[in-house]
Amino acid sequence: MRCVVRQSLKAKTHVSVRLSLKAKMALHRPLKSAVVAVASRVVKPVVILEAHPLPNKVATAMSASPVMACVALGANLGDAVATVQHALRDVASLPETQLLKASSLYRSAPYEAQGPDFINAIALVHTQLSPLALLHALQALEQQSGRERPYKNAPRTLDLDIIFYGDLALSTPELTLPHPRWHERAFVLLPLAEVWPEQVSASQLAAVQNQAIQRIFLQDLP
């Protein structure tokens, strides 16, 4: 798989989001059992708050050249909207990493999980971190947010998954690429279709049409 990106790697890119009154009210209502169709929108980068620094122990092994990676973000504990917004900034500020595109935020019912509804997003980045270094950096961000794993699929303050790392196929005890279940989950497919429509097929979207998900607001456009 290949994606051509025409954006400079010289400067960090950040994103900001605004929540409409209608969207704020929607956050307090449980989701129905239907997927909401969305149109593809590209985010305009704007400067926002400072990102969280990573611990010094995070590995920074480098790849030979920048690779486009896809990261899925999710949270369903605490202020999940603020958590995902901060996580987008933190991912953009990882060493040797630049945020290319970020999706709108989505609200989804737990899928093979428990607890409140999730807030989800997808980020596309250019990075020179190796796959494992990127994984370890994302895990460090999860720990900073207070992530705990008391049991499988427990509610979480922050969940960060690598979906793709270029066209790399990898299977290790620590990391599998592409993510083995990315195509089964509406909370990955819909935001991914927004920022990388060529990567998602109509049949894949049709297969998750019964999973409850809603785009809760759009990021500011020019």
Active-site residue (options: 147, 149, 185, 220)? 147
Question: In angstroms, rounded to a whole number, what is the distance separating the alpha carbons of residues 106 and 190?
Answer: 9
- Measured N-to-C along each axis, helices 131-144 and 80-92 cross at an angle, to the nearest 10 degrees, of 140
Active-site residue (options: 107, 159, 185, 215)? 159
Given the structure tokens 């890119």, which residue do they identify?
A: 13
Question: In angstroms, rounded to a whole number, what is the distance separating the alpha carbons of residues 101 and 106?
Answer: 15
Active site residue 147: yes
Spell out a b/e string for 148-177, using b for 16 or more CB atoms within 10 Å of the CB, else e: eeeeeeebbbbbbbbbbbbeeeeeeeebeb
Given the structure tokens 């509610």, which residue do they identify?
A: 155
Active site residue 220: no
Active-site residue (options: 89, 107, 156, 185)? 156
Active site residue 156: yes
Active site residue 159: yes
Residues identified as active-site: 147, 156, 159, 161
